[in-house]
Amino acid sequence: MLKKHKTLGEFIIENQSAFQYTSGELSKLINAIRLAAKVVNHEVNKAGLVDILGAAGDTNIQGENQQKLDVMANEKFIQTLKNREIVCGIASEEEDDFITINSSDDNHQNKYVVLIDPLDGSSNIDVNVSVGTIFSIYRRITPVGTPVELKDFLQKGREQVAAGYIVYGTSTMLVYSTGAGVNGFTLNPALGTFYLSHPDMEFPESGKIYSVNEGNYVHFLQGVKDYIKYCQEEEGDRPYTSRYIGSLVSDFHRNMIKGGIYMYPKSNIAENGKLRLLYECNPMAYLAEQANGLASDGFGRILDIEPTELHQRVPFFCGSKNMVKKLHECIAKHA
Ligand code: AHG
Ligand code: MN
Ligand code: MN
């Protein structure tokens, strides 16, 4: 029997009426992200056709088609948010500096800034493996009516008002939180509609999956090495299973559903790891905590870190509570 699933549109409207004194700006912003997600999904889906279409269309002097997909995703997201005149500023992993948005009729009246990793896991595009988009939303701290400043973007992760990701996988899903749990919506591509398929997503307390680029093993801190050995030992419910897609969004998504830990430690070759605090770690940490999981840099909570620059990197450990706690024990032994 067919079950009636709520659409993302319906869900946003319902949520909006729960906050009766808000202006609806955040709802409009989530709506704009929903639209951008559909546009990028369409492009990502035909990634494998780029060469074929490029060769066939001699009226089309390439350019757009051949653009790298992460540049394309960046432009689509920024353009959609700009067109809807819904944010006062955007920072993106693909841009050196933040973008100030002064919409036509309102002179910097919007109160939210958005930070995005437009295409996460870009090394997976060529090989037809899942990629994603990550977004993070803050209320500006400078007064409305003035242009945004760097400090509007350098807020602690715990100040986020919403965060989420889109995973362009075997199905396309949009997963997000506005601070009252995490909900996942699956796109029906025939209709272009997202349906609430995964209400109230939560990390299982414990899991059996660890996700890390073990090629860097020799460079990890001793505590991290010990934890990896712990995952591999034969004892109780161990050894755990190793799964690493190389696309944070997809690795996180799987671990949240099945139970697991994602790790991108610092190493002798990458002093602060690889992942970006503002575009990757903070939004994923916010979702993790909203979903009963934990996220840390190996010592403390990701969401408490005071950012100092837009493209700052931090070590990142995130997932099922008991797994992150065990990792902390291992690291503390060598501190
Ligand atoms: P991006 O494609 O936005 O640069 O991010 C890739 C990130 C992350 O998604 C992934 O988990 C990690 O880099 C993989 O790095 P390694 O190839 O070093 O394992
Ligand atoms: Mn990324
Ligand atoms: Mn990226």
Residues of the chain with pLDDT > 70, as a percent, come to 91
Say which ligand is closest to the CA of 274.
1
The DSSP output letter for 301 is B
Q: What is the 3-state secondary structure (H, E, C) of 171-212?
A: CEEEEEECCCCCEEEEEECCCCEEEEEECCCCCCCCCCEEEC
- Name the domain count of the chain: 2
Q: Which of 57-61, 249-253, 264-268, 289-293 has the lowest mean pLDDT?
A: 57-61
* Contact indicator for 273, 316 with CB cutoff of 8 Å: yes
Residue 189 and residue 124 in one domain: yes
The residue whose CA has the least distance to atom 14 of ligand 1 is 246
pLDDT band for position 55 (50/70/90)?
very low
Ion ligand 2 neighbours, Cβ < 5 Å:
117, 120
Residue 39 and residue 172 in one domain: yes
Q: Which of 40-54, 79-93, 114-128, 318-332 has the lowest mean pLDDT?
A: 40-54
Say which ligand is closest to the CA of 122.
1
Residue 53 and residue 174 in one domain: yes
Q: Which of 154, 183, 201 is the last residue of a domain?
A: 201
Residue 155 and residue 174 in one domain: yes
Q: Which of 201, 227, 260 is the last residue of a domain?
A: 201
Full domain range(s) for residue 228: 209-332
| pLDDT number for residue 67 | 66
- What is the tens place of the pLDDT at every residue in 275-327? 999 999 999 999 999 999 999 999 999 999 999 999 999 999 999 999 999 99
Around ligand 1, the residues with Cβ closer than 6 Å are 93, 117, 120-122, 213, 246-248, 274
Q: Which residue has the tokens 């093993």?
A: 217
DSSP structure string for 87-106: -SEEEETT-SS-EE---TTT
Q: Which of 182, 201, 220 is the last residue of a domain?
A: 201
| pLDDT number for residue 61 | 46
Which positions ≥6 away from 119 have C-beta within 8 Å? Answer: 40, 44, 69, 70, 73, 74, 125, 131, 132, 133
Q: Cα of 225 to ligand 1 centre, how many Å?
A: 20
At 36, list the tokens. Answer: 């951008």
* Contact indicator for 158, 306 with CB cutoff of 8 Å: no
Q: Is 0.85 topped by the overall pTM? A: yes
Number of H helices, E strands in the chain: 9, 13
Average pLDDT value for residue range 152-174: 97
Q: Cα of 334 to ligand 3 centre, how many Å?
A: 33
The residue whose CA has the least distance to atom 19 of ligand 1 is 213
